[in-house]
Structure 1
Amino acid sequence: MPCEDGPKFFNFEERQRQKARARQRDEERLERGEISPRELQEENMPFRKLRRDRVAIYRNKKTGEFVWAAFERKGGAKDGSED
């Protein structure tokens, strides 16, 4: 029996079982109509809250607030070129 105070190790087999159970729950939710495929995909995305239009450049040392850079898409030329 492993010691409770000892170091914790990653158990690959247990992680596989957890993922299999999660996939099974997801399939059941889809079958029951509790969630749409798109909602499920968004729920399972690791970076779902990542914004592509704003990026934190650094944190202000005095206030602790992030300084943001905005990246807005340009309209571009009507012929599809990037100019």
Structure 2
Amino acid sequence: MRDEDGPKYFDFEERQRQKARARQRDEERLERGKISPAELQRENMPFRKLRRDRVAIYRSKKTGEFVWMSFERKRGPEGSNED
């Protein structure tokens, strides 16, 4: 068995180096004014593409279609103080 055929292992030290390089690039972009702090924050958000208004919960075994649910808060009647 050759080395490239063997099991793959996660290298924590290499991942730390990758993250450090990414942080350094982000800092340089901020210093040069290429990106605003708010834009950088949006760019680095792990769930930035998550839609709370339409989330697939599971796939129906009968039809194979996704069953969707909304996680948006529903507004109560005006003047209600539930929050």
Instruction: Give the TM interval when normalised to the shorter protein.
Output: 0.7 to 0.9
Q: TM-score, normalised by structure 1?
A: 0.74
Aligned to 2:31: 31
Shift of 1:61: 5.0
The alignment-based identity, stated in percent, is 81
Question: What aligned pairs does 1:1-83 form with structure 2 within 5 A after superposition?
Answer: 3-60=3-60, 64-76=64-76, 77-78=78-79, 81-82=81-82
Any runs of at least 4 consecutive aligned residues in structure 1 with deviations exceeding 6 A, and if so which?
A: none
SS at match of 1:19: helix
**RMSD between superposed Cα atoms in Å:** 2.5
**Over residues 39-67 of structure 1, what are the superposed CA-to-partner deviations in whole Å (9 max), with x where a residue is unaligned?**
11111111111112222132345765423
How many residues matched? 81
SS in 1 for 2:5: coil
Q: Which runs of 5+ in 1 are unaligned?
A: none
Q: Residues 28, 64 of structure 1: CA spacing in aligned structure 2 closer, same or farther, 3 A cutoff?
A: farther
Contiguous gaps of at least 5 residues in structure 2: none
SS where residue 58 of structure 2 aligns? strand
